[in-house]
Structures are given as C-alpha cells and as structure tokens.
Structure 1
Amino acid sequence: MRGPAWPVAALLLGYPLWWALGFGGLSVVVLAVPMAVILWRRRPVRVPRGFGLWVLLIACYLLSGLMLGEMPPGTYGELAAGRLIGYAMRLALYVSALILLLYVGNLTERELPQLRLVRMLGVLFLTAVAGGLLGVLAPGFSFTSPLELVLPDWIAAHPFVQNLVHPTAGQTQKVLGHALPRPEAPFEWANAWGGNLSVLLIWFVVGWWVYGSRRRRVLAVAAVAVAAVPIVYSLNRGLWIALGLAGVYLVLRVGGRTRTALCAGAAAAALAFALSPLAPLVAQRLDSPHSNDIRAFTVAATVEATRHSPLIGYGNTRRALGSHRSVTTGKTAWCPGCGHPPLGSDGQLWLLLISQGVTGAVLYAAFFAGAIRRHWGDRSPIGLAGVLVMCLVLFYMLIYDGLVTPLSLYAISFALLWRNSP
C-alpha cells in the first residue's frame, strides 16, 4: 500500500511475515519508529480525549522502575537481566501502542478509509483462524525464527522472550486430563489467540457482513463456521464467555428487524453447534475447571504483594514462594504439579497491580472506560463495534494479559472510535 497508511497495512496485512521472522507482537515496536517519524513531520498532531491518562500510565511505569530491585514478602529471586528485559519490553509496548493510536487517528479518511482499516482487521481474523486450524491439526509445529537465531542465547532462552520470538502453532496441555492441542498461532500464547480472535471477529463481522456484498457475506458465514473448530479446541472459557457477552450486548443495543434477525441467527447457530461433535468438548471443559485453583493462588499472592507497594508496584512480575499445591516451587520428579506462573500472569489487572500498583490499574481502566462513556451514543456499526471491544478490554483485564498483540488491537479499535466521532 502506498501513502502514509503503509505502516498500518504492514502491521495488519503483513503480520504472518512478522510472525515467521520472529517479531510477531514486537512488530508494533519496529513499526512505531517510522510512525513516530511521520507523525513528527506532520505536526501538529491531534490527540484524543483520554490521551493524558495513557501518558500518566507510561510515567507511572517509569516510576515503578525504581522498585525493580525490591522483593515483596512471599516472593523470591534477585534483580537480573531477565527482569530488566521484561521491564524494557513492556515499556516499549506501552509507548508503541500510544504511537500506533495517534498514527491511525491522525490519518485522514482519504489516506486510510475507515472501512479499509476495518477490513484489514478482518484479514487478520482470517489469518488467526488459519493459525488456529494449524494449532489444532499440527500443534507441535514450530521453528526457529531468524530473530531467534541472531539473539544472544541468554536473551533468546528467557521464557518471556521465547514466547515472543519462537513461532509455535499450539500448546498441548492436559486440561481435560488427557493431552489436547490449544491453538496459539500466529500469536504469542493460547490465551492471546482467544482474546485477539474475539476482537478481530467483531471487526470481521462489521467489514465483511454489515458492509459486505452478498458474496462477502457468504464467505463471512463460511469463515465463522470454520472458526468454530479452533474456538472450541482452544478450551478457552474466557473466549467463550466473551462471545456470549458480545451477543447479549448486541441484542440489547440494536433494535427492530436487526434484533430479530440477530436472535434468529444466534438460535440457528446454537442449534447447529449443539448437534455438532464439538458440543461434548465444551461440556467436558466446563466440567474440568482445573485452572481455577492456580488462578486463585496467584491472584491472592499478587494482591498480597501489592499491599507492600500499593501506589507504584514493583516494575515487573515476581515469583511467589510455593504454589497452590506445594510449599516448594518448581517441577521435580516427585512433584510434577509444583510450580506456577509468575505473579501478574493471570490477567492485565493483576499485572498492573504487581508492576504499577493501584495507580497503574486505575489509569488503564479509566482510559478504556472513558472511551465507552464518550462513544456510547454512537450507534453506527463502527461505533457499536468499537464500544463492544472497549467493554471486552475491561472484561479481559480479569483473565488475560493485555500486552503484546492484544494491546495493538485495542489501540487500533480505540482509534477507530476516535475517528468515527463527528
């Protein structure tokens, strides 16, 4: 694509290539550089309402860096390169998301029409569906990316970095008591795939159904039907709940024939799903809430740690002493169930609390909640979709990490709402 919209097209349409190169979610950091240069040359730059909240969020994160060497009670570990790398990467993602938001918001309708941007997100949805199918059919597929090859071993081997730079199709986990694949391609982990797919699905429906020709609508129905397979095999309860909430939101916010058609379509889809071989898998997952104990432990430990630095947090995640099953930490031959994720890994809210304290959590939530309040009256398809995404952002705070690829999609969705304002 020519013109100033090329970085946005490179991010969304070129994402499979970024993923194969090992950049994936970090592609926004790379593309934020030319975006910032172009914005500087286009001065003055318009900013949306709520802009100051995100600036304060970044300032708060910078301040929290003073606590990187501190350890709250009940945690262990020393200040090392891994903690500094994680802090720097998260800071880069927060800054890049702001640049992306400003860049998209400052492009004119002629330079990047709203519908074209929405349909770019729709193409990424199709990419995510293809990646999901790959994760279901070949969950062990992975390869060493070019970026991974050039990184020093001590950086590339860090678990957080490894998730970002090493492309994988899926994770095989014993969620139901036996090994089953959970798709994650082309994103960084399975939960990111679920959250991203729900956001992209919203924009796909707008671009390919609401504003689509008859041919596009037929393709849209087929694509959503195919997407049901990796959605179910993801075993992602958060994704399933979010899709249900999205349906309720639309029924409440639309009226007349649209509401009737939506209810009829939802009923038909539910019946078709109930009669399909996918339904028993959902029932098994709902009967196997094995991850609840893990989440309860890490959330409680995160809240307890935050009490000792409630305003600015600790700059990054920490490891807790023990786990939900044992006072020891780490997997051993006699205790394969021991060990747990870092504190703050069970949702953006908990990550913000441990890394930036209550201040960071309030600023983040206020930024997206403000967008809901300001644009609630916009009942255009883009307005309804954008507000729905902002609602899902707040819901996902409780269960999903909102950094890396999700944050880029949130920023673009925010920009779409901003551009849609009169």
Structure 2
Amino acid sequence: MAAPATPRPLPGAGVPIAPRPVTGRPVVWLLAGYPLWWALGMGQFAYWLFAVPMAAELVRRHRTVGLRVPPGFWMWALFLLWCVLGLAMVPLDVPDTVPGSGGLAGAALRVVNYLVLTVLMLYVGNLSERELPTRTVVWSLSVLCLATIAGGYLGMFAPRFEFTAPLEYLLPGALATDPYLQTLVHPASAQIMDIFGYESARPKAPWEYTNIWGYMVSLLLVWLVVGWVLEGSGLTRWAALAAAAASVAPVVHSLNRALWVGLALSLVYAGLQALRRGRVVLVGACAVACATALLVLAASPLADVVRNRADNPHSDDGRAASNAASVAAAELSPVVGWGTTREMAGSSESIAIGPTADCPGCGQHVIGNAGQLWITLIANGWAGTAFPLAFLAWTVWRHRATTSPAGQGALLTVLLLFWYMFFYVALMSPLAVTMVAVALLWRGDAGPTPGRDAVRASGGLR
C-alpha cells in the first residue's frame, strides 16, 4: 500500500507547505551537469565528488529505516571483493608481458571507481519515487544526450579545440604531464587519428575518448527517446526527434563500427518490443522511416565515410592480439586474475619492444584496453568476470517482462553492455548509466518499505 501523500493545507490555514524533497539532487547535478564538470577538468572524478553526499545519505538510511540492496547483489559484492583480492597479484609478472608493467595505482583507481558506482546504484535504488522521480532521472540523461550530440558537432567542426581546465592548474607537475591523467582532465573536442592514410577527427566531447563518446551516445539516445519522444508531447517530442536525427552525422564521423551495430541492435530491440505489444502498424511505419533514412544516407557524403571505414579496419589486428593476450592471461590465473592490465611484449606487427621509426605501431600494447570483457578477464580472471556478468544477466532476466517505457529503456541499457563489452571499456561513465538503469529496474518492482513510497502501487516506473 502506498504511503499517503502529505495533505496540502487550505489557503490561509497558516500551515507551511512541506518543501519539495531535495534528496535526489546529487544525481541531477552529476548527470545533467556533467558537461560543466568536464569543462572544469573533473570529468569522471565528478562521480567521486557526488559519491560523498550519496554515501552519507546511505549511511543515514542504514541507521534509520535500513538499507536495501537489489536482488542478486551478492554477485556484484563478490566482484568487488575479487577486485580487492586482485591487488595482491599486481606486483607479479605475467608471462609474455613487459616486466613491471602492472601499476598498483591504476588497479587501486579501478577498485575505487567500482565502489563509487556501487554507491550510485544503491543511492538511486534506495530513494523513493517522491524523493527522486524516475522522470527526473530520465530528464537528466536526456539533457546529457543533447550535450553529447552537441559535443559531436564540436568535434566535427572544431577538431582541434581544447583548453586548459581549472583543475589542471592545481595539479603537481608530475601529474599534470602524465599522459593518462591528461586525457582525463584536459578538455578536447576530438581525437585526431590516422585511419585512412590521413588525419581524421573523431568526436569525443564531453568524454575522454571517441569510443566512450560512441558508447555514451548509444546509451543516452535510448533515454532521449524514452523521456522526450515516447513520454513527451508537442514541440518537445519533435525537438527530440530532430536531435536524434542530427546525431547521425557525428555518429558516422566517429568511425565507431561497434556503435553503428549497437544502434541497429537498439532499433531491433525497439521493434521487437513494439511487436510484443501488438503495435504492428507502428513497427511498419518505423521500418519505412529507417529505410528512407538509409537511402538518404547512401546518397549523402556520409556514405563515403562509412565505405572508407569498412575498407580500413585499422585497429583490428591490434585488438585481436590484445584480446587473445587477455584470454591467455586469464587462463594462467583463472580465479583472481592479475589485478590490473599489463603491456604486451611486442605487438601484432612485431616482437619489437617498443615502437620504431619503421614500425610505429609495434610494441607494448596494453592488454585489456579493447573492451570491458577483456580488461575484466586479465584483472579478475574467469571467476571474477563471471560475477558482474551474472549480476547484470540476472537483472535482465528478472525484469524481462517490464512494459513501461522507462523500464524497457533501462532494460535495453543493461543489454547493450553485453554487446559493447567486446569493444569498449565501460568504466566509468557508460557503467554509471548502466548502474542507474539497474537501480531504476530494481526500484520499479520494489514493494513498500518504511520511509519509502510504494512505486509498484503507483504504476511502477514512470
């Protein structure tokens, strides 16, 4: 039974109206405000910042009404334990890798990131619909989608745009010049890469890498459609449709083939869900619209970009070698893995240790950086990899019958990880959106608990 709403006082009664709850504001500021944090140089460290008030709220709830966890959380908890245990393996050398290439700092950073995302998931899941309406979360993700599309155009038309973020001025010299940290804190619009034999600008703003941009735009378009197309109306709906259509240009120029397939899989999922609900005419109309869009795309200059990308696989050999090395490393330590990534002794092009003038792509490719599956395999072994995948698979299975737009959007968000994990590393932002989706699904089927609105009684996810 839903908790009774606080009655509004009659005019002139002299009883103050209860203020709107502000508990869920960290989620809104984190997601909708992410472009600001990126511009300040905080980027993914913004998750750490907002995890502090979220954790404080979770502690308060644990002491008062109790803390809830999603079904199957023990699998995710075991994964966190495995990440901590794996730190003991970091000092060890992995056969056929560069000695001493495993860094304890990077491994510890990864553990902290997983813990921060756990706090985010528990925070969203423990808040009631009144404290953090689902529509507010969807709105925040939709705003972030628009910012990502705008960042894509910035990367296309101003590919060398960059600036020194305020945070960079505060970093010590050694950290400020670290290449990896520079990628995290230095705002730039695009990655300039040689794929076709000449420099190509691949959009990435407001994210760290082009691949992360592709993964994020794929996830966030789901929420733009859910919040502003399916549940919107009038001008909002048409504006969202226009934004989704406008995303095609930066999506093509990102040259992310996995993204292209991921968007196609999302369309197939949407079509199957519509057929399941008996909306045959809608599916037919959307199929005609997609076919028309493909014909227009084929007649546009964007088609040449797609054909050139298909003719230039570029990183396929390096990815295949790195992925095979991840599997081999996991077979050597199948239970706990090696704690973190390592560097290959040689590469797919040569056994040379390090790049040379004749072979700039030779040597010391990072094992595991080609996808979330591969980085988890080398860091946590087969056993450690099974835990998070089982947790997410159980979440999908448990909520497979959800019918609300937000519920189906959340389900698709989780499902997409099982595609992108072969190509993109999900940590940090893509996995954050996935954890928010898990929390919405879990919260949507939760029964009433003390201090919590009964979401199920009010219609589930809205």
TM class by shorter-chain length?
over 0.9
After superposition, the Cα gap between the structure-2 partners of 1:155 and 1:359, relative to the gap in structure 1 and judged at 3 Å, is farther
> After superposition, where does 1:68-147 map in structure 2 within 5 Å?
68-78=90-100, 83-147=103-167
Query: Secondary structure in 1 aligned to 2:265?
Result: helix
Task: Give, in angstroms, the shift of residue 419 of structure 1.
Answer: 2.3
Is the Cα–Cα contact under 8 Å of residues 136 and 233 in structure 1 kept in the other structure?
A: yes
Is the Cα–Cα contact under 8 Å of residues 101 and 343 in structure 2 kept in the other structure?
A: no
Flag structure 1 segments of 5+ consecutive residues without an equivalent: none
1:242-285 C-alpha deviation (Å, 9 max, x unpaired): 01111111212212233223323322322232222212211111
Task: Give, in angstroms, the shift of residue 52 of structure 1.
Answer: 1.3
Query: Secondary structure in 1 aligned to 2:367?
Result: coil
Partner Cα distance (1:337, 1:39) in 2? 47
User: 2:421 matched to 1:397?
Assistant: yes
1:267 aligned residue (288, 291, 294):
291
**Who is 1:243 aligned against?**
263
Partner Cα distance (2:378, 2:141) in 1? 32
Question: Which of 1 and 2 has greater Rg?
Answer: 2
User: 2:435 matched to 1:411?
Assistant: yes
1:323-377 C-alpha deviation (Å, 9 max, x unpaired): 1111113223232232353100010111001111111211121111111101111
Flag structure 2 segments of 5+ consecutive residues without an equivalent: 1-19, 446-455, 457-462
Partner Cα distance (1:341, 1:219) in 2? 43
Opposite residue 94 of structure 1, the aligned amino acid is Y
Partner Cα distance (2:338, 2:177) in 1? 23
Task: Give, in angstroms, the shift of residue 41 of structure 1.
Answer: 1.1
User: What percentage of aligned pairs have identical amino acids?
Assistant: 44
Opposite residue 252 of structure 2, the aligned amino acid is V
1:288-345 C-alpha deviation (Å, 9 max, x unpaired): 1121111111111222222221111111110110011111132232322323531000
User: 2:250 matched to 1:225?
Assistant: no
Task: Give, in angstroms, the shift of residue 228 of structure 1.
Answer: 0.9
User: 2:395 matched to 1:375?
Assistant: no
TM-score, length basis structure 2: 0.88
2:388 aligned residue (364, 383, 390):
364
Partner Cα distance (2:293, 2:44) in 1? 32
User: 2:314 matched to 1:290?
Assistant: yes
Opposite residue 334 of structure 1, the aligned amino acid is D
**Who is 1:206 aligned against?**
226
1:201-242 C-alpha deviation (Å, 9 max, x unpaired): 001000010011110111012111221111000000010000
**Who is 1:234 aligned against?**
254
Is the Cα–Cα contact under 8 Å of residues 74 and 305 in structure 1 kept in the other structure?
A: no
> After superposition, where does 1:154-193 map in structure 2 within 5 Å?
154-193=174-213
Is the Cα–Cα contact under 8 Å of residues 211 and 256 in structure 2 kept in the other structure?
A: yes
**Who is 2:69 aligned against?**
47
**Who is 1:56 aligned against?**
78
User: 2:37 matched to 1:13?
Assistant: no
Structure 1 segments, 4+ long, off by >4 Å, are none
Is the Cα–Cα contact under 8 Å of residues 294 and 340 in structure 1 kept in the other structure?
A: no
- Aligned CA RMSD, in angstroms, stands at 1.6
Is the Cα–Cα contact under 8 Å of residues 136 and 181 in structure 1 kept in the other structure?
A: yes
After superposition, the Cα gap between the structure-2 partners of 1:306 and 1:156, relative to the gap in structure 1 and judged at 3 Å, is farther
User: 2:54 matched to 1:35?
Assistant: yes
Higher mean C-alpha deviation, range 136-145 or range 226-235: 136-145
Partner Cα distance (1:79, 1:176) in 2? 31
Partner Cα distance (1:287, 1:414) in 2? 38
Task: Give, in angstroms, the shift of residue 153 of structure 1.
Answer: 2.8
Higher mean C-alpha deviation, range 128-137 or range 233-242: 128-137
Higher mean C-alpha deviation, range 407-416 or range 253-262: 253-262
Opposite residue 90 of structure 2, the aligned amino acid is L
TM-score, length basis structure 1: 0.96
Is the Cα–Cα contact under 8 Å of residues 352 and 360 in structure 1 kept in the other structure?
A: yes
Opposite residue 274 of structure 1, the aligned amino acid is A
Partner Cα distance (1:412, 1:271) in 2? 36
1:383-411 C-alpha deviation (Å, 9 max, x unpaired): 22111111111111111101011111111
Aligned residues: 420
Partner Cα distance (1:132, 1:105) in 2? 31
Is the Cα–Cα contact under 8 Å of residues 347 and 365 in structure 2 kept in the other structure?
A: no
Task: Give, in angstroms, the shift of residue 200 of structure 1.
Answer: 0.2
Partner Cα distance (1:342, 1:310) in 2? 19
Higher mean C-alpha deviation, range 65-74 or range 327-336: 327-336
After superposition, the Cα gap between the structure-2 partners of 1:152 and 1:79, relative to the gap in structure 1 and judged at 3 Å, is farther
Query: Secondary structure in 1 aligned to 2:219?
Result: helix
Opposite residue 366 of structure 1, the aligned amino acid is A
Partner Cα distance (1:315, 1:45) in 2? 30
Higher mean C-alpha deviation, range 216-225 or range 271-280: 271-280
Opposite residue 57 of structure 2, the aligned amino acid is I
Query: Secondary structure in 1 aligned to 2:217?
Result: helix
Higher mean C-alpha deviation, range 11-20 or range 60-69: 11-20
